[in-house]
Amino acid sequence: MLGTLGPRWIRLSEALIGAVCATGEFARRSHERLSAALHNGLRSLVLRSSKNVGDSEAPPDLDVLAGNDDTLSLDLPDISTSNLEAPSIKWLLETSTDPEVFFAAVTLVPLVEWPLDLDVSDMLPWLYDISTSCIDIHGQIVPSLEEKASACIMALSHLYCGRVLQAYPGRGGFIGRGRGDYDMFDMMTQWSIGTANKTVLAPAKRFCVPAGHDDGQWQTFWLDECPDSVLEWLSHSLPYHFVTGRVNRDVERFAIEVISRLLSSPSSPSTQIIANCTLLACLMVGVQFDKKVIIRVDKRCS
């Protein structure tokens, strides 16, 4: 019977159970609830598969969990956004003419809290323009601008995910420049910008896929060429997809692979990574969170 559930769900449970012994209040407090949700979700899949014996090869569908009466809701404490660094980072990016100051500021974009009431609409087309300015006429990153290009691409994707969450359930049209957002991101991924940068763009691109359009599969082998910093960022950005319902089986499989790689790393995963992976796994099995929890970069305090 377990064969009908799909190995990825078993791997998800095993990966989290293996990491629960690590420290971190969020990880310890959430794991018991997560285990219960996983059990209830898997039980629903078993019952469903027993009614569809002829379809034993079909992979499990998250829609089963979405309608599950056992869906959990974790009420986590709110935190004030008045002391966040995002407005200062935004001001530096908009006003600084010093290349070193700009680079330092743009690398901080995915590391600070961006409150939902902070308007970043003007930053998206601007970061897009700076990212594209690092590309030569052959569609390759100018060698001397590789670090700047990667930092701007991650900042763009990070803020785009946040903008989608701000506007939810609205969608798209945030970059402008006379073309649809999907076309803009698709053009960027056609350039020779490296697998890691293309992987970073994938979450943003997924948010603006036109209806009925196949955005291609999220290949797990992309992760082979991604540094740990990208994997950790993915563990923060992927929850945006699950909380807004912009998920398909490829995204689900990709998320499980990210969790598995982070928690099975030869070096012990940090409490931050455990917190990110726990929250992502909870969302995947139907646990509900406030938007402010999703945007929180440091989830260890939750």
Q: What was the pLDDT predicted at 101? A: 93
Q: What was the pLDDT predicted at 108? A: 94
Q: What was the pLDDT predicted at 11? A: 54
Q: What was the pLDDT predicted at 52? A: 44
Q: What was the pLDDT predicted at 14? A: 56
Q: What was the pLDDT predicted at 26? A: 46
CA of 279: how far to CAs of 105, 255, 282, 290, 300, in Å? Answer: 27, 12, 5, 12, 11
H/E stretch holding 106 reads helix 99-108
For 181-203, the pLDDT digits (tens) are: 888 998 999 999 999 999 999 99
Nearest by Cα to 53 from 16, 3, 103, 89 = 3
Beta bridge mates, 135? 141
Q: What was the pLDDT predicted at 45? A: 41
Q: What was the pLDDT predicted at 167? A: 82
Q: SS3 for 140?
A: strand
Low-confidence residues of the chain: pLDDT under 50: 1-6, 8, 20-28, 30, 37-39, 41-82
Q: SS3 for 74?
A: coil
Q: What was the pLDDT predicted at 123? A: 93
pTM here is: 0.76
Nearest by Cα to 278 from 236, 250, 246, 240 = 236
Q: What was the pLDDT predicted at 10? A: 55
